[in-house]
Amino acid sequence: MRDRTSKMLIAFLGKLASSSIDYTNAFLLSAGSTRQLVRNLKMTEKQYYSSMQSLQRNGYIKRVNSNQFLITPKGLKKARRLAAEQVNFDKNRWDGNWRIIIFDVPDSKKRERNLFRAAIKRIGFIGIQKSVFISPFADFKKIALIRDELGIAKYVTFLEAKISAVDDDRKLREKFELN
């Protein structure tokens, strides 16, 4: 999916999250609200139409009528995952705890395992072993969305820990520029 389309999905999700009405499966967007998003994203008309067609083709939105679009459950799920991957952490506010992800996903789910590994690397985790990743900053709730969407929850464990005085975390601190 192209970057602008991803941004549109995330923007739609943000609009949904800020809504005072609880929509569980879908969200109706007017053409006016999508046009406002387009202006905010600095898209041309051609990019807008191309993005909307791409979203429709992939089943992320449905056109209800000429002025309204419906975000499908598939689109909402995708938008939540994309939003989770866009997480930025404040490096100045480290609480001293390390967030650790351990996973042992079977070969029958190799594709899902590789997608999960790539996603947590994009978020900022670094590998300390083949299936053990660590970060000083993480929101496990958002990472759990990715894990759950991939259907590998029973193979993934989240841990939060302090490194004891016996272990030296200087190398990790240097990698994350925490000194």
Beta strand 68-71 pairing with 61-65? antiparallel
For residue 68, what is the DSSP state? Answer: E
**Do the domains 3-84 and 88-175 sit in the same CATH topology, yes or no?**
no
Residue of higher predicted confidence among 72 and 99? 99
What does CATH list as the number for 88-175? 3.30.70.240
Q: Are 132 and 100 in contact (CB under 8 A)?
A: yes
Question: What number of CA atoms fall less than 13 Å from residue 95's CA on the CB side?
Answer: 10
Q: How high is the pLDDT of residue 24?
A: 37
Which whole number is the average pLDDT over 140-158? Answer: 88
**Cβ count near 166 (within 10 Å):** 5
Q: Which residue has the tokens 């947590």?
A: 120
Mean pLDDT rounded to a whole number for the chain: 75
More confident residue, 2 or 18: 2
C-alpha 22/C-alpha 153 separation (Å) is: 26
Would you say residue 5 has pLDDT above 80?
no
Q: Which has the minimum average pLDDT: 4-13, 63-72, 161-170?
A: 4-13
What residue segments make up the domains of the chain, in order of their start?
A: 3-84, 88-175
CATH number at 3-84 = 1.10.10.10
CA–CA gap between residue 15 and residue 21 (Å, rounded): 11
